[in-house]
Amino acid sequence: MIREIAVRNVATYSSEGVLYSDLKKINYFYGSNGSGKTTLSNVLKQIELYADSRISWVSQPLKTVVYNQKFVEENFHQESDIKGIFTLGRESTEIKQTIRDKKDLVDKVVEEIRRLSSNLEVKQKESKQNEDEFTDDCWKLKRKYDDIFSVAFSGLRNNRINFMKRCKQAPTGGLICALADLQARVQKLFNGSNKKLPLLGKIKIEHLSAVCNHRIFQTPIIGKQEVDIAVLISKLAISDWVKQGHTHVSEAEGVCPFCQQQLPEGFTEKLNDYFNITKKR
């Protein structure tokens, strides 16, 4: 049983505070709004939160149970969609709130999925439209040159989709060959005069050493030193690299096969002079 309660420095209670003494087993506290009734109940519930207040017991302290507005908020939950039905207990209320939070999260995720699905559908339609246009463009080019490259188009001439896929597989970024050059290649490859050659015989490992050590492989490519670009090529030791590009110059139509810039006038002739090779044996 509580003997007395001292409440100080909280809410409407001053530093002097109020001492409720000579308490009985049952006590009634009356007062207008703001007089401190709720504060008194809060002190009774959790005295440890109020350093300047105290509760004196007749004997051993007992567990205090307070029924006030805060208790109602923590332990009773009125369902908004079912009037007259409520849950009892703080734990049940917290679980209900957790469920509502999770449902809100689910609703947000579902809405995000709906938005992304809509965007995906739009992008898929755009992709399909672009692919259809690309297929049409490829097929128009095929029909334009069908008579010239009919043999090269074998297996693809009656299938727009497969022809488009083959076009997509073609490497990009290389040199664009002239039509006449392509026609010449087709004629060379598909003129019917090709012969099947026998397979190469197996190379014996013991012969590799002799081949690799042959003097021809020890001889660098030497160009005319009097050519004005010879000094730079020799200084940078890039003769082999320049030689590799030199093999493509004739097909590049005046464009450098490495940097794609226009070659200076007379540059091709200088390269030809430089690689007027003398083979040392």
Tens-digit pLDDT profile for the chain (281 aa)? 888 999 999 988 998 889 999 888 899 988 888 888 889 998 998 888 898 899 999 888 888 888 888 887 777 666 656 565 555 566 666 777 888 899 999 999 999 999 999 999 999 999 999 999 999 999 998 889 888 888 878 888 888 899 899 888 887 777 778 888 888 888 888 776 777 888 888 877 777 777 777 777 776 655 555 456 777 777 777 777 777 777 777 776 777 766 777 777 777 777 777 776 433 32
What CA–CA distance (Å, rounded) separates 151 from 145?
11
Residues 6+ apart with CB under 8 A from 144: none
121 SS3 class: helix
Residues 6+ apart with CB under 8 A from 210: none
Dihedral class, residue 166 (left if φ above 0, else alpha if ψ from -120 to 50, else beta): alpha
What CA–CA distance (Å, rounded) separates 43 from 55?
9
Contact, 156 vs 162, CB < 8 A? yes
How many CB atoms are located within 10 Å of the residue 165 CB?
13
How many CB atoms are located within 10 Å of the residue 176 CB?
7
Strand partners, 19: 6
Strand partners, 137: none
